[in-house]
Amino acid sequence: MGWYVISVTPGFEQRFKNSIESSRNLKEINKRVFVPVMIQKTIINGKVYFHNEKLFPGYLFIECEEKDSELIFGYISLFTGIMNMSSIKNSYRVCYPIEEYEMMRVVQLMYNFEQSFHKPVSDKKFEINERIRITSGPFSNFEGIIVEVNYPQNSEAKIKVCTRLFNNDLAFVVLNEFQVEPIIS
């Protein structure tokens, strides 16, 4: 089995993957089609949303036997939106396999993103009067003092922070624990 990389129109990776996997012409072929993604956490209006973001936009990874690659790439070459394959053979484009260590780098990159995503945001308890820096949201990069901490069961801590605005007025902001980091003096 070898891995092949196909350049496709960005944004259509999943559509190509689904077409290849569901094709009747390729049903009997042992293959695996892969679109590497990482999970992203986004905060919008204080709510946390999760979405997949492609690691390599515009690229599709296919694992198959070398003997089956001509059939697969002959089928794929009929798609509109295939940007690049390595070579031309018998009037259609073909790919050459990438090295195993190169594919392992892709998998390792996804694994590293996955591990950083699942790391606990805070391994310590926040304390009242502790100095912190706000890391995300409209008050990003502001510093402040914790005035209240609430640890709900099975949820992230809610932290009330007192910070100074540009005109030196005080503002109280309630944040999730992943939106702040301690300031180490």
Lookup: tokens for 22: 């569901």
What is the assigned CATH class of domain 2-118? alpha beta
CATH number of 131-182: 2.30.30.30
Q: CA 182 to CA 110: how far, in whole Å?
A: 28
Highest mean pLDDT of the ranges 29-38, 86-95, 113-122: 29-38
For tokens 């077409």, name the residue. Answer: 19
Q: Which of 68-72, 93-97, 178-182 has the lowest mean pLDDT?
A: 93-97
Give burial (CB, 10 Å; 0-12/13-18/19+) of 124.
exposed
* Domain map (residue ranges) of the chain: 2-118, 131-182
Give the pTM. Answer: 0.53
Residue 100's contacts (CB-CB under 8 Å, 6 or more residues apart) are 3
Distance of CA 76 to the CA centre of its chain: 26
Q: Which of 70-74, 109-113, 174-178 has the lowest mean pLDDT?
A: 109-113
* Per-chain mean pLDDT for the chain: 77
Helix, strand, or coil (residue 70): helix
Bridge partners (DSSP) of residue 148 are 160
